[in-house]
C-alpha cells in the first residue's frame, strides 16, 4: 500500500535525512520504526504525509505517487491518513467533543454523523466520561486517547503515530499501545515511531531500525536491535 522507491531526502542545509530508502508497508500491517534521534524517522513519516518531497526516488500510496498529487488531491489523500503526535496537538479552548467534531467538520461530515460518531470513538478509547472536559482538565494519557479518537473518527486507512508515548508514564504508555493494537486489529495500518524497547517487545510486530537515514534492519518478529 505504501512503497518507498529508492528515496533520498537532502534538506536545503545539506542534511541527508533519508538515503536510498526502499520500503513496502502492506495494508493492515503494524510497523514500528526505531532509531536514535536524527536517524530519519520523522522525515520518513513526513514523506508518507506528503509534507516533504523526496530529493530522489518516489513514495507511492497504492499506485499513486504522493508527491505528484495536486493540492485538492493531496488534501483528500491526507484524510485517509490519521496522525498522532507526542505533544497531542489538541485545541485547548475546545472540549473533547468539540476537538473531535472539528476534525469531522474539516472532512465535510454532517452534524448527524458528528453526534453519532463522536461518542462511539470515545467509547473505543474508553473516555466517554470526559466528553465535555477541556484538554487542560485531562491527564497526558487521556489527552493522547482524545488525539487517537480524533485520528480515527474519519476512518483513515493508515494511522501515523510519531512518538505517541514520549510524554507518558508507563501505565498510560501501556494503554495507548493497547488502543493502537485494537485499531490495527480492526483493520487500520499503523506506523509508529518509538524509542521504547518495552513497546517493541510487547507488540511482537514488524520493526524497522533506522540509522543515518538508512534502514539497517527490518525484522518481522519485532526485535529491538538498537544499541544505546
Ligand atoms: P528523527 O525523527 O529520527 O529524529 P529526522 O527525520 O527528524 O530524524 O531528522 C533526520 C536528519 O535530518 C537530522 O540530521 C536532522 O537534523 C535533519 N533534518 C530534519 N528536518 C530538517 C529540516 N527541516 N531542515 C534541515 N534538516 C533537517
DSSP string, the chain: -EEEEEEEEE-TTS-EEEEEEEEEE-TT-EEEEE--TTSSHHHHHHHHHTSS--SEEEEEETTEEGGG--HHHHHHHHTTEEEEETT----TTS-HHHHHHHHHHHTT--HHHHHHHHHHHHHHTT-GGGTT--GGGS-HHHHHHHHHHHHHTT--SEEEEESTTTT--HHHHHHHHHHHHHHHHTT-EEEEE---HHHHHHH-SEEEEEETTEEEEEETT-------
For 11-53, write each residue's pLDDT tens digit: 999 999 999 999 999 999 999 999 999 999 999 999 999 999 9
Dump pLDDT digits (tens) for 139-164.
Answer: 999 999 999 999 999 999 999 999 99
Q: Write down the pLDDT at residue 95.
A: 98
Task: Using most ligand atoms within 8 A of CB, pick from 14, 43, 46 the residue to mutate for ligand 1.
Answer: 43
42 lines ligand 1 (CB under 6 A): yes
Cα(17) to ligand 1 centroid in Å equals 6
CA of 49 to the centre of ligand 1 (A): 16
* Atom 24 (ligand 1) nearest CA: 11
The predicted model scores a pTM of: 0.94
Amino acid at each position: 500500500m505504501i512503497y518507498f522507491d529508492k528515496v533520498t531526502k537532502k534538506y536545503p542545509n545539506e542534511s541527508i535525512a533519508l538515503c536510498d530508502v526502499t520500503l513496502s508497508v502492506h495494508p493492515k500491517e503494524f510497523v514500528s520504526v526505531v532509531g536514535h534521534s536524527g536517524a530519519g524517522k520523522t522525515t520518513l513519516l513526513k514523506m508518507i504525509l506528503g509534507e516533504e518531497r523526496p530529493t530522489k526516488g518516489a513514495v507511492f500510496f497504492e499506485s499513486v505517487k504522493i508527491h505528484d498529487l495536486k493540492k485538492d488531491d493531496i488534501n483528500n489523500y491526507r484524510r485517509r491518513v490519521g496522525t498522532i503526535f507526542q505533544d497531542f496537538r489538541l485545541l485547548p479552548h475546545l472540549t473533547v467533543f468539540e476537538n473531535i467534531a472539528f476534525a469531522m467538520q474539516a472532512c465535510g461530515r454532517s452534524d448527524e454523523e458528528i453526534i453519532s460518531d463522536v461518542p462511539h470513538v470515545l467509547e473505543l478509547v474508553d473516555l466517554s466520561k470526559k466528553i465535555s472536559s477541556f484538554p487542560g482538565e485531562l491527564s497526558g494519557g487521556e489527552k493522547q486517547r482524545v488525539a487517537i479518537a480524533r485520528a480515527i473518527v474519519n476512518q483513515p486507512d493508515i494511522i501515523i503515530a510519531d512518538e505517541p508515548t514520549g510524554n507518558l508514564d508507563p501505565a498510560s504508555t501501556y494503554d495507548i499501545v493497547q488502543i493502537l493494537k485494537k485499531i490495527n486489529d480492526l483493520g487500520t495500518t499503523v506506523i509508529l515511531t518509538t524509542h521504547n524497547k518495552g513497546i517493541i517487545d510487547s507488540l511482537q510486530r514488524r520493526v524497522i531500525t533506522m540509522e543515518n537515514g538508512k534502514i539497517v534492519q527490518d525484522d518481522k518478529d519485532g526485535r529491538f536491535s538498537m544499541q544505546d
